[in-house]
Structure 1
Amino acid sequence: MNTKKMLAGMLLIGACLISQAQTSKKNASADPDNLAKEYFSQIMGVANNAMTNTKLYQFVYEWLGTPYRLGGDSKNGIDCSKFSLAVYENVFNTTIGYNSRNQYANVKQVNKKDLQPGDLVFFKIRSRQITHVGVYLGDDKFAHAASSRGVMISDLNEAYWKRYYYNGGRPFEESSRTMTANSGLDNEDKNLN
């Protein structure tokens, strides 16, 4: 008889634990931040556990499909450096340079393997100088304004991006510093993305 009572008690405790675990799981998935992360994870191809800044992914999502326009800075058209500038101003409350080379001059260089979401990724496309910039999202994905397709998400491991990848960068951590364009650039340099 004691064995039956003990077995019944263990089954009851087990059932309670399973019920509680299922309730906790339902509550966790109903959390708006978790739902947003799951959604952006699927849209952007970045693992849910790699998504550290929902505001970053929300901002990028809102701009996806915006057409490319050299010198543009609105949803009517934007270029790569203005897109990364908009990300930093709106997500991180930081101003960075106005073209890709200015931006590179205002960051601490980061190895590709050490990139974190929000870091900048720089490319030298058919040039000896930096000509393109994007914002790293995680899992080798980055958001950028491509001249061919506008604001989009690409993979650093794609042959094209792998070929032209130059370096990553993270803005200096001095919170009071506002990063600006280099004043010594000539007019030709100011027209770069």
Structure 2
Amino acid sequence: MKTKKLVAAMLFIGLCLVSQAQTTQTKSSDPDNLAKEYFSQIMGVAVNATTNTKLYQFVYEWIGTPYRLGGDSKRGIDCSKFSLAVYENVFNTTIGYNSRNQYANVTTVQKNDLQAGDLVFFKIRSKSITHVGVYLGDNQFAHASSSKGVMVSNLDEAYWRRYYFSGGRPKVDQDRVMMANIGSDEDDNLN
């Protein structure tokens, strides 16, 4: 008799717990919140910093794409073409075609004021800008690495901290198209 009461009590408690879990799950099943939680885990960005789900989804779809200098497709892409693709597809804005050109068309932003979607620029063993990425939040940025392809890295990693130059927010004209800097043919070969 005591066993039956004990089993009945356990079943009742279990039913209550399941009911509570389903109620909690219904509250968090908002698709935007689920997407933010998912991308937060994948990219190492705090949930409260994942403000632009479209940006994170676009980056996620490109992660692992191999690096190819001058490439602009999922078969291979370089850093400036990747940032260009992000801006064209996520922000409906065209930016410059190489990292120097992109830098020439931004308003600089202090590192601690970066927001998701801002560009981050690097001078890697050079006096000129040689690399660009797209800031995601929490010091994470997406970029096309020459060694690993499209990936997410942390600005606090020693390598990136060493070569970090500046952050910037694109200047946009009335047609939502950045003005391209006309430079020498040498500039066109930069990524």
TM-score by length of 2: 0.86
Show structure 1 runs of 4+ deviating over 4 A. Answer: none
- Give the Cα–Cα distance (whole angstroms) in 1 for the partners of residues 122 and 172 of structure 2: 23
Match of 1:171 in 2: 170
Tell me the C-alpha RMSD between the 2 structures.
1.7
Alignment length, in residue pairs?
173
Deviation of 1:174 after TM superposition, in Å, equals 4.1
Q: Is the aligned partner of 1:126 residue 2:147?
A: no
- Give the Cα–Cα distance (whole angstroms) in 2 for the partners of residues 117 and 178 of structure 1: 19
Q: Secondary structure at the match of 2:177?
A: coil
Match of 1:84 in 2: 83
Q: Secondary structure at the match of 1:116?
A: coil
**What letter matches 1:63 in structure 2?**
W
- Give the Cα–Cα distance (whole angstroms) in 2 for the partners of residues 161 and 83 of structure 1: 18
Deviations 1:63-102 (A, max 9, x none): 0000000000000000000000000000000000000010
Show structure 1 runs of 5+ residues with no match.
Answer: 1-18
Q: Is the aligned partner of 1:117 residue 2:116?
A: yes
Deviations 1:111-164 (A, max 9, x none): 000000000000000000000000000000000000000000000000000000
Match of 1:107 in 2: 106
- Give the Cα–Cα distance (whole angstroms) in 2 for the partners of residues 115 and 136 of structure 1: 7
Match of 1:35 in 2: 34
Deviation of 1:27 after TM superposition, in Å, equals 2.7
- Give the Cα–Cα distance (whole angstroms) in 1 for the partners of residues 31 and 174 of structure 2: 29
CA change 1:175–1:115 in 2 (3 A) is: farther
Structure 1 contact 28–34 (Cα < 8 Å) conserved: no
Match of 2:149 in 1: 150
Show structure 2 runs of 5+ residues with no match.
Answer: 1-18
Structure 1 contact 99–181 (Cα < 8 Å) conserved: no
**What letter matches 2:75 in structure 1?**
N
**What letter matches 1:189 in structure 2?**
D
Deviation of 1:29 after TM superposition, in Å, equals 1.2
Deviations 1:146-185 (A, max 9, x none): 00000000000000000000000001254434114311x1
Match of 1:188 in 2: 186
Match of 2:14 in 1: none
Deviation of 1:26 after TM superposition, in Å, equals 2.7
CA change 1:126–1:66 in 2 (3 A) is: same
